[in-house]
Amino acid sequence: MTIEELKQHVRNVPDFPIPGIQFKDITTALAHPECLKCMRDELVNRYKNLGITQVVGIESRGFIIAPAVAMEIGAGFVPIRKPGKLPAETIQISYAKEYGLDTIQMHKDALNENDIVLIHDDILATGGSMAAAIELVKKTGVKKIYVNCLIELVGLGGRKLLEGKADSIDCLLEIEVDE
Ligand code: AMP
């Protein structure tokens, strides 16, 4: 399966969760066995030779592909979660969203200065959540941070916001924000 074919399996849901948002629904691609395999294989090929020790997934759609990739490249999996979900001691970051503040947490002992990390999420939109995730991971002193999203929503400035914050920023496919 090609990336272009994969793109055809991402469903656009207009006006979800609020009017005016074109929601990119990856569940249609996840339910398609060849798409699922394509997403995993593409990421494995891109990240297998970089010495990555931990794949960090952002709750919740960043939890779907990340563990499969981690297993294939010989890395572990670390979750970044919403407040109050992780049981042990956490570190956290709060960041501005369109309306109000959002907070994300990670276990304090999940990463250390010997780790090389891939942070993964499903969609890069404005980049606010990924920028916060990078900042959170940086607190642990890791050696390198690679960033990957399945989809880049082009036109929202996410890539620009992340520029210079990570060792690389890479998305499998690009979709125009109004496409
Ligand atoms: P942002 O912080 O603006 O880059 O938003 C990224 C997060 O919000 C990701 O975790 C996505 O799952 C979700 N998200 C933002 N915009 C969309 C969209 N148009 N369709 C689906 N998910 C979105």
Does the C-beta of 128 come closer than 6 Å to ligand 1? yes
Atom of ligand 1 nearest to the CA of 22: 19
In angstroms, the Cα distances linking 60 to 3, 8, 66, 143, 167 are 23, 23, 11, 25, 24
Atom of ligand 1 nearest to the CA of 126: 3
Mean pLDDT of 130-159: 98
Contact 6, 173 (CB under 8 A): yes
Cβ of 28 less than 6 Å from ligand 1: no
Task: Provide the token pair at 34.
Answer: 């060849």
Q: Which residue has a Cα nearest atom 19 of ligand 1?
A: 23
The ligand 1 atom at the shortest distance from the C-alpha of residue 121 is 10
Q: What percent of the chain has pLDDT over 90?
A: 95
If you ran DSSP here, which 8-state letter would residue 141 be given? Answer: T
Q: Read off the pLDDT of residues 53-79 as tens digits, 9 standing for 90 and up.
A: 999 999 999 999 999 999 999 999 999
Q: What are 156's two structure tokens?
A: 């929202």
Ligand 1 pocket, 145 CB below 6 A?
no
Measured in Å, residue 17 CA sits from the centre of ligand 1 at: 11
Write down all domains in the chain, each with its CATH number in brackets: 49-176 (3.40.50.2020)
Burial per residue of 29-53, b for 16 or more beta-carbon CB atoms within 10 angstroms, e otherwise: bbebeebbebbbebbeebbeeeebb
| Predicted TM-score (pTM) of this structure | 0.97
Q: Using alpha carbons, list the distances in angstroms from residue 149 to 16, 95, 120.
A: 20, 19, 6
Alpha carbon 99 to its chain centroid, in Å, reads 21
Is the C-beta atom of 124 inside 6 A of ligand 1?
yes
Residues with catalytic function: 61, 98
Q: Has residue 82 got a pLDDT over 80? A: yes
Give the pLDDT score at 179.
77
Q: Is 27 helix (H, G, I), strand (E, B) or coil?
A: helix
> What is the structure's pLDDT at 178?
80
Q: Is 21 in the pocket of ligand 1 (CB under 6 A)?
A: yes
Rounded to an integer, what distance in angstroms lies between the CA atom of residue 166 and that of residue 50? 14
Q: Which of 129, 134, 149 to mutate to test the pocket of ligand 1 (most atoms within 8 A of CB)?
A: 129
* Average pLDDT of span 29-42: 98
